[in-house]
């Protein structure tokens, strides 16, 4: 085995803007994505994967809502588990086929439906901020708040949307299983969508909670748990930028932890977009990782070689 790499894939790896989200569309996107992953494996890297699931969970919540008069609707932790299963199936299927096409043998893919522990006292539970599911009218939103005690917000004139807590990941529950699988040469897909958020009660028992963990922060935690050498966040832009989308925009190439922290303190990275990715990259290197990378899917192998993307080092 070569260097161990955890790759966190963005939403564009599974669903492209403007697509309806059919199974065939998503499978075709994943097939294109895994061609990049197989290139990494052929280059000698030991790869584990994690991914987002926002659109998929959103679709499941709509399906639950529309079907609730016929079958019971499932809570968010169940929807997260369901999305991990079918997205993991797509990655496993496409990886098996792509590796066969490339003549790569002995590296079987496997999906682990993953729970991620969070602190029940996390301040996020007192201030939900993460929008989930579809948009509704104000009347529907206020009825939901009255009936179920949920938190809803008006979202930039587009309608009302439910918001849930986004607590910080504290640990991967299935860490030992994933470690054994990675050590034995499996290509593991784990912690999808940030993992299924769970808490422990006073007796030590686990319970799922209505929350969403940021997928990049959970990916960093997975990389820590696997003692990865490199943590790669693949998104839809080639590099991290400062003064993004302005006449003074500048792409960052090689940057130290201190330099990136200084830029973050100046407010360059927004919470709803690049902010969590930058924070995840900083955490990984500060916690002992050799290198973190933020780059685009199309330049994944080049970024691993140090010739593309934003390279964050100590």
Catalytic center residues: 11-12, 130, 215, 277
3-state SS, residue 287: coil
Say if CB 96 and CB 173 are below 8 A apart: no
And the tokens for 170?
Answer: 């504290």
Q: Which of 178, 198, 167, 165 is nearest to 88 (CA)?
A: 178
> How far apart (Å, rounded) are the C-alpha atoms in residues 281 and 123?
22
Radius of gyration of the chain (CA): 19
Beta sheet of 160-164, edge-to-edge order = 130-136, 160-164, 151-154
Tally Cβ neighbours within 10 Å of residue 91: 26
Q: Tokens 């790499």 appear where?
A: 5
Residues 7 and 234: beta-carbon distance below 8 Å: yes
Residue of 94, 102, 90 lying closest to 39 (CA atoms): 102
Q: What's the gap between Cα 34 and its chain centre?
A: 16
Determine contact, residues 62/134, Cβ cutoff 8 Å. Answer: yes
Query: Residues 92, 188: contact at Cβ < 8 Å?
Result: no
251, 243 in Cβ contact below 8 A?
no
For residue 108, how many C-alpha atoms fall within 13 Å in the half-sphere facing its CB?
4
Q: What is the DSSP letter of 297?
A: G
């Amino acid at each position: 085995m070569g260097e161990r790499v955890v790759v966190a894939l963005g939403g564009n790896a599974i669903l492209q803007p403007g697509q309806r989200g059919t199974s065939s569309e998503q499978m075709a996107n994943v097939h294109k994505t895994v061609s990049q992953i197989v290139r990494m494996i052929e280059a000698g890297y030991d790869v584990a994967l994690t991914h987002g699931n926002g659109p998929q969970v959103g679709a499941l919540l709509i399906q639950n809502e529309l079907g609730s008069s016929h079958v019971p609707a499932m809570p968010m932790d169940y929807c997260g588990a369901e999305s991990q299963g079918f997205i993991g199936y797509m990655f496993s299927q496409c990886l098996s086929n792509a590796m066969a096409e490339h003549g790569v043998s002995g590296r079987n893919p496997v999906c682990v439906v993953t729970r991620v522990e969070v602190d029940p006292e996390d301040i996020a539970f007192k201030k939900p901020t993460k929008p989930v599911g579809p948009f509704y009218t104000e009347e529907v939103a206020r009825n939901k708040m009255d009936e179920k005690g949920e938190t809803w917000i008006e979202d930039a004139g587009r309608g009302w949307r439910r918001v849930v807590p986004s607590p910080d990941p504290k640990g991967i529950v299935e860490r030992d299983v994933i470690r054994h699988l990675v050590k034995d040469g499996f290509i593991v897909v784990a912690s999808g969508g940030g993992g299924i958020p769970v808490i422990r009660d006073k007796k030590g028992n686990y319970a799922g909670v209505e929350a969403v963990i940021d997928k990049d922060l959970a990916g960093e935690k997975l990389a820590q748990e696997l003692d990865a050498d490199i943590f790669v966040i693949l998104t839809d832009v080639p590099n991290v930028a400062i003064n993004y989308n302005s006449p003074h925009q500048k792409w960052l190439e090689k940057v130290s932890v201190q330099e990136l922290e200084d830029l973050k303190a100046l407010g360059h990275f927004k919470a709803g977009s690049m902010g969590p990715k930058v924070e995840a990259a900083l955490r990984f290197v500060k916690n002992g990782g050799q290198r973190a990378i933020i780059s685009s899917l199309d330049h994944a192998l080049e970024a691993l070689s140090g010739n593309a993307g934003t390279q964050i080092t100590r």
